[in-house]
Amino acid sequence: MADNTELPPVEQNQRPLRNEDMSAVTDSVREVLSQYGWYLLAATAVFYLLIQYIVKKYQSERRNAALPHLHNKMRFCKQASGAMEASRMRMQQELDAKAALFKEKMKQQEEEKRRQKIEQYENMKQGKSCKGNTSQTTEEDLSTTVIKRKADKKPLRSSGWFSCFISDIHLLQSNT
């Protein structure tokens, strides 16, 4: 049993295993940092600033590349808004002109009504009938109006869809 617990013999050309806890790496890193630490720090700072400069340059070039399109869009928007404003002004002027015509027409109508009332009052003062000149207008109206004849309808006859429905019912009742 004692044979199983014994360690195997170490061969001549095989070195014994060392504890590989990275102490050799840390020692070399310490040594490099102690000799070149300030240089590495300065190089890292320069590299960081160089990256920042390149990123800003790239972004500004992208913005400048998009600016011509933006200027074209702005110019188009200004032209479109100017045209729209001119159209609105033209429409407003037309509307104002129509409103002025309507207002003038309303004034003329009111003046005509006022004149007719004055004529009626003067006619009443003179003892004439109130209608005065209205008989002339009614004669004109009668001549222009067309008398409509009543269609020859017989009211006792049924017509329309309801009559068809009733006739169908009568047919069904007579067949049974």
The pLDDT assigned to 96 comes to 95
The pLDDT assigned to 138 comes to 53
Identify the CA nearest to 130 among candidates 141, 140, 122, 138. Answer: 122
| pTM metric for this prediction | 0.33
**pLDDT at residue 167 above 70?**
no
Lowest mean pLDDT among 3-7, 57-61, 89-93, 97-101: 3-7
The pLDDT assigned to 156 comes to 59
Q: What is the pLDDT of residues 132-162, one digit of tens each?
A: 455 455 555 555 555 555 666 655 555 555 5
Tell me, yes or no, whether 148 lies in a domain.
no
Q: What is the pLDDT of residues 72-127, one digit of tens each?
A: 888 888 999 999 999 999 999 999 999 999 999 999 999 999 999 999 999 888 88
- Pick 45 or 143 by higher pLDDT: 45
Give the model's confidence band at 1: pLDDT under 50 very low, under 70 low, under 90 confident, else very high. very low
Count of domains forming the chain? 1
Tell me, yes or no, whether 92 lies in a domain.
yes
Tell me, yes or no, whether 175 lies in a domain.
no
Residues 6 or more apart whose Cβ sits within 8 Å of residue 120: 130, 132
**pLDDT at residue 176 above 70?**
no
Tell me, yes or no, whether 82 lies in a domain.
yes
Tell me, yes or no, whether 138 lies in a domain.
no
The pLDDT assigned to 14 comes to 65
Tell me, yes or no, whether 59 lies in a domain.
yes
**pLDDT at residue 64 above 70?**
yes
Tell me, yes or no, whether 100 lies in a domain.
yes
Q: What domain range is 64 assigned to?
A: 30-128
**pLDDT at residue 17 above 60?**
no
Tell me, yes or no, whether 60 lies in a domain.
yes
- SS3 assignment for the chain: CHHHHCCCCCCCCCCCCCCCCCHHHHHHHHHHHHHHHHHHHHHHHHHHHHHHHHHHHHHHHHHHHHHHHHHHHHHHHHHHHHHHHHHHHHHHHHHHHHHHHHHHHHHHHHHHHHHHHHHHHHHHHHCCCCCCCHHHHHHHHHHHCCCCCCCCCCCCCCCCHHHHHHHHHHHHHHHC
